[in-house]
């Protein structure tokens, strides 16, 4: 996924505010699900919801106002109740800006952990890779 950095995403020095990366990762996950035939709206209708259980972000370099960032998203691991995402964000020059990981837990509508439906688990497992595409 590519995004351009706008002024409202930066601090007074024109550097992307660190918490904005959480939004970028959320958007990248949503795009990942959509591009792989698993729209979140369909999952929700089937009673499959996700919550973030853990988030790791390693900031490698700053991104700046008007930079264009390329966010690579992949699945690193899948269990009965969780899916681990990996990310790498690079700027337009190919410099690594961020590396991150998110652990998402499958929950029911009452936010209790639940196992993935077998079909969804198999599809997620089929998308597993170990690094940027």
pLDDT, residue 132, reads 73
- pLDDT over 90 at 2, yes or no: yes
In a domain, 84, yes or no: yes
Model confidence at 133, in pLDDT bands (50, 70, 90)? Answer: low
44 within domain boundaries: yes
Question: Is 11 noted as a catalytic residue in this protein?
Answer: yes
Taking the C-alpha atoms of residue 95 and residue 60, their distance in angstroms, rounded to an integer, is 9
Domain total of the chain:
1
The structure tokens 């706008």 sit at 6
Q: Which domain holds residue 97?
A: 2-126
Q: Is residue 131 a part of any domain in this protein?
A: no
Q: Is pLDDT above 70 for 53?
A: yes
Question: Quick one: tokens of 123?
Answer: 């599809």
Give domain status of residue 95, yes or no: yes
pLDDT digits (tens, 9 = 90+) for 10-47: 999 999 999 999 999 999 999 999 999 999 999 999 99
Which comes out higher in pLDDT, residue 110 or 131? 110
Contacts of 18 (CB under 8 A, 6+ apart): 57, 59
CB contact at 8 A, 66 and 15: no
In this structure, is residue 133 part of a structural domain? Answer: no
List 11, 42, 58, 108, catalytic entry: 11
User: Comparing C-alpha atoms, which of 100, 76, 104 is closest to residue 88?
Assistant: 100
What's 6's domain CATH number?
A: 3.10.129.10
């Amino acid at each position: 996924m590519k995004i351009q950095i706008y002024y409202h995403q930066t601090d007074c020095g024109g550097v992307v505010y660190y918490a904005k990366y959480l939004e970028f990762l959320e958007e990248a996950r949503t795009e990942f699900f959509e591009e792989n035939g698993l729209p979140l709206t369909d999952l929700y209708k089937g009673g499959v919801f996700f919550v973030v259980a853990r988030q790791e972000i390693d900031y490698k370099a700053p991104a700046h106002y008007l930079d264009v960032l390329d966010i690579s998203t992949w699945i690193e691991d899948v269990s009965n109740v969780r899916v681990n995402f990996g990310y790498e964000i690079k700027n337009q020059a190919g410099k690594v800006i961020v590396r991150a990981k998110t652990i998402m837990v499958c929950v029911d509508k009452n936010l209790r952990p639940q196992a993935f439906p077998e079909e969804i688990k198999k599809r997620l497992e089929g998308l597993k890779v170990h690094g940027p595409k």
